[in-house]
Structure 1
Amino acid sequence: MAKTKKLSPTYPDLIVPVYNALKELGGSGTNNEIVEQIIKDLNLSDEIVDESHLGNVNQTELEYQCAWARTYLKNYGVITNSARSVWAITSQYTGTVELDAKEIIAYTSKKAAKKKAEKTKEVSDAEKNSSSPEDGDAENDETEFPDEIKPWKQKLSEVLMNMDPYGFERLSQRVLRECGFDQVEVTKKSGDGGIDGTGKLKINGIFSFNVAFQCKRYKGQVSAGDIRDFRGSLTTDIEKGVLITTGTFTKAAKEEASNPGKQQIDLIDGEEFMNKIAEYGLGVKPVTTYEIDEEFFEKI
Structure 2
Amino acid sequence: MGPLLDCLRSVGGSAKPKEVSSWIARALDLPPEVTDPTIKSGANRFHNQVQWARQYLVWQGMIDDSRRGVWTLTPLGWKTHLDDVASRAIFLSTVKQYQETRRTPVEAEIATAVPVDDLPLDEQQEQSLLEVLQSLPPYGFELVCERLLREHGFESVSVTQKSRDGGIDGYGVLRLSPFVSLKVAFQAKRYKDVVGRAAVGEFRNALLGRAEKGVFITTGRFTSDAEMEAARDGVIPIELVDGDRLVTLFEDVGLGVRPKQIIEIDYAFFEQFRSQG
Shorter chain as denominator, the TM-score bin is 0.7 to 0.9
Partner residue of 1:145 out of 101, 107, 120: 120
Q: Which consecutive aligned stretches of 4+ in structure 1 deviate over 6 angstroms post-superposition?
A: none
| SS at structure 2 position matched to 1:213 | strand
- Residue 266 of structure 1 pairs with residue 244 of structure 2: no
Partner residue of 1:212 out of 185, 188, 201: 185
Q: TM-score, with normalisation over the residues of structure 2?
A: 0.88
Q: Which residue in 1 is equivalent to 2:229?
A: 256
In 1, are the aligned partners of 2:5 and 2:77 still within 8 Å (CA)? no
- 1:46 to partner: Cα distance: 1.6
| SS at structure 1 position matched to 2:72 | strand
- Distance in structure 1 (CA, Å) of the matches to 2:101 and 2:271: 16
Quote the RMSD (CA, aligned, Å): 2.5
Higher helix share: 2
- 1:160 to partner: Cα distance: 1.7
Q: Deviations over 1:91-131 (max 9, x none)?
A: 13323634511222133223322431xx3xxx66xx59626
- Structure 2: state its 5+ residue gaps: 273-277
- Residue 132 of structure 1 pairs with residue 111 of structure 2: yes
- 1:243 to partner: Cα distance: 0.3
- Distance in structure 2 (CA, Å) of the matches to 1:217 and 1:67: 24
In 1, are the aligned partners of 2:45 and 2:117 still within 8 Å (CA)? no
Output aligned runs, 1:105-116, within 5 Å: 105-116=91-102
- Distance in structure 2 (CA, Å) of the matches to 1:131 and 1:94: 26
Partner residue of 1:104 out of 83, 90, 93: 90
In 2, are the aligned partners of 1:67 and 1:146 still within 8 Å (CA)? no
- Structure 1: state its 5+ residue gaps: 1-14
Partner residue of 2:4 out of 11, 18, 40: 18
Taking CA–CA contacts closer than 8 Å with sequence separation of 6 or more, which of the two structures ends up with the larger relative contact order? 1
- Further displaced range: 104-113 or 46-55: 104-113
- Distance in structure 2 (CA, Å) of the matches to 1:294 and 1:131: 14
- Further displaced range: 66-75 or 29-38: 29-38
- Distance in structure 1 (CA, Å) of the matches to 2:110 and 2:270: 27
Aligned length: 271
- Residue 183 of structure 1 pairs with residue 183 of structure 2: no
| SS at structure 2 position matched to 1:85 | coil
- 1:87 to partner: Cα distance: 1.2
Q: Deviations over 1:49-105 (max 9, x none)?
A: 21112222xx21101111100100111011123533211221133236345112221
- Further displaced range: 30-39 or 155-164: 155-164
Q: TM-score, with normalisation over the residues of structure 1?
A: 0.81
CA change 1:295–1:165 in 2 (3 A) is: same
- Further displaced range: 77-86 or 264-273: 77-86
CA change 1:73–1:204 in 2 (3 A) is: farther
In 2, are the aligned partners of 1:213 and 1:241 still within 8 Å (CA)? yes
